């Protein structure tokens, strides 16, 4: 690999950072965001919620454990969150040209080349992250061989780009879960399958009919939730019924919009594995994995809903639930991958509601346990 090919990162405020190219050698544009995660780049880079974005890794050394083997199990890659690298570009301080790991099959650079994604290393990511924190998420472009215009991914329906086009079925468990794919991570499917389910995965704009399903999950995904008008309409229909509904990340925002609340764009978003949240009305705190640029406006929740979790760093809404019906959602990622698994118990709470709904218990509308 030639390590002397120059590359330049240009922000839309005119700031430039000069470094070197790795990965695919062509120019690209997107929204510049940062993650403070210290590991898990194979999972993060394949998370569909990063569609259209340049990811700054604040950890100074990236690439030292390479990239896992691509092994497909039941139609899904075992070690990745989707079938491809979803980011538009990777921005790091120091690239490790040597890698070592029992499961490594290739270098990070070779993997990015395969997926046509450029990277830039040798820049001051600390200074760059401070700019993003102070000014907010910005547009940027990595220039390697020719100049290109800036591109704002938030003006596009990114969910339509990452959602599957044809429905799929996974597993043969007792409980039938409808998964509305807004850019779902594979580990959401894995977490459901571990809990005696059959998962029916449908596109984001699929006309949802809850008949025949025991529960519905709205997945994570990229971009502005207000772009997902068809998904919001589906959620509205479900919230008029009694089938248990669970939302994760973008799915939480979609459920809030369907309930009549509002969402807004965060200054620079939450992207890390160390976001602390507290369960409202308790002293129970959890360290969570997060990746989102929009949030629910807590004050806009209708009276039939209540905030469930709050971010301890900036007090933003991290979860909502209905006061009487089996509907709840969280802004963080209980499926993790990468990150802590402290909140995977939420899948158990969802499945408890599903079982009660299926069994026809009189208390099948109670809130998840607090």
Global pTM reads: 0.94
Residue range 9-56, pLDDT digits in tens:
999 999 999 999 999 999 999 999 999 999 999 999 999 999 999 999
Q: Give the count of beta carbons closer than 10 Å to the beta carbon of residue 15.
A: 14
Distance from the Cα of residue 296 to its chain's centroid = 15
Instruction: For the chain, give every domain's residue range.
Output: 6-152, 158-359
Q: Give the count of beta carbons closer than 10 Å to the beta carbon of residue 370.
A: 11
What whole-number distance in Å separates Cα of residue 91 and Cα of residue 93? 7
Is 191 annotated in the active site? Answer: no
What whole-number distance in Å separates Cα of residue 293 and Cα of residue 162? 17
Class of domain 6-152: alpha beta
Contact residues for 69 (Cβ-Cβ < 8 A; gap 6+): 79, 103, 105
Is 317 annotated in the active site? Answer: no
List the catalytic residue out of 228, 249, 270, 292: 249
> Where do the DSSP E strands lie in 38-161?
53-57, 61-62, 67-68, 72-73, 76-77, 89-91, 94-95, 104-106, 118-121, 138-143
Q: Which residue has the tokens 């409980």?
A: 175
Q: Considering the chain, what is the average pLDDT of its residues?
A: 94
Grade residue 365 by pLDDT with cuts at 50, 70 and 90.
Answer: very low
Average of pLDDT values for 51-80? 93
Share above pLDDT 90 across residues of the chain, in percent, rounded to a whole number: 91
What is the SS3 assignment for 166?
coil
Architecture of domain 158-359: 3-Layer(aba) Sandwich (3.40)
Is 182 annotated in the active site? Answer: no
pLDDT of residue 347: 98
Residue range 101-119, pLDDT digits in tens:
999 999 999 999 999 999 9
Grade residue 366 by pLDDT with cuts at 50, 70 and 90.
Answer: very low
Residue range 46-63, pLDDT digits in tens:
999 999 999 999 998 899
Grade residue 3 by pLDDT with cuts at 50, 70 and 90.
Answer: low
């Amino acid at each position: 690999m030639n390590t002397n090919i120059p590359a330049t990162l240009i922000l839309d405020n005119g700031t430039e950072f000069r470094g070197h190219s790795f990965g695919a050698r062509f120019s690209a544009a997107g929204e510049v965001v940062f993650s403070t995660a210290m590991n898990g780049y194979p999972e993060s880079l394949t998370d569909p919620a990063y569609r259209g974005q340049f990811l700054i890794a604040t950890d100074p050394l990236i690439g030292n454990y390479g990239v896992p083997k691509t092994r497909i199990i039941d139609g899904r890659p075992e070690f990745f969150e989707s079938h491809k690298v979803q980011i538009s570009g990777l921005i790091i301080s120091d690239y490790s040209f040597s890698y070592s790991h029992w499961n490594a099959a290739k270098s990070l650079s070779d993997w990015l080349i395969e997926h046509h994604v450029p990277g830039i290393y040798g820049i001051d990511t600390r200074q760059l992250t401070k700019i993003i924190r102070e000014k907010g998420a910005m547009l940027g472009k990595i220039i390697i061989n020719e100049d290109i215009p800036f591109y704002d991914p938030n003006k596009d329906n990114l969910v339509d780009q990452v959602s599957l086009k044809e429905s799929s079925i996974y597993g043969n468990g007792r409980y039938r879960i409808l998964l509305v794919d807004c850019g779902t991570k594979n580990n959401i499917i894995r977490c459901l399958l571990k809990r005696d389910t059959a998962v029916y995965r449908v596109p984001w704009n699929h006309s949802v009919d809850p008949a025949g399903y025991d529960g519905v999950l709205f997945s994570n995904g990229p971009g502005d939730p207000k772009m997902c008008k068809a998904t919001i309409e589906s959620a509205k229909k479900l919230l008029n019924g009694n089938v248990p509904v669970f939302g994760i990340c973008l799915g939480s925002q979609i459920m809030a919009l369907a309930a009549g609340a509002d969402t807004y764009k965060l200054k620079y978003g939450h992207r890390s594995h160390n976001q602390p949240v507290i369960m409202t009305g308790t002293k129970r705190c959890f360290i969570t994995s997060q990746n989102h640029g929009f949030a629910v406006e807590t004050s806009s929740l209708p009276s039939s809903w209540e905030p469930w979790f709050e971010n301890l760093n900036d007090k933003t809404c991290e979860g909502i639930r209905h006061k009487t019906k089996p509907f709840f959602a969280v802004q963080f990622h209980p499926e993790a991958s990468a990150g802590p698994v402290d909140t995977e118990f939420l899948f158990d709470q969802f499945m408890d509601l599903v079982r009660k709904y299926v069994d026809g218990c009189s208390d099948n509308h109670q809130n998840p346990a607090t």
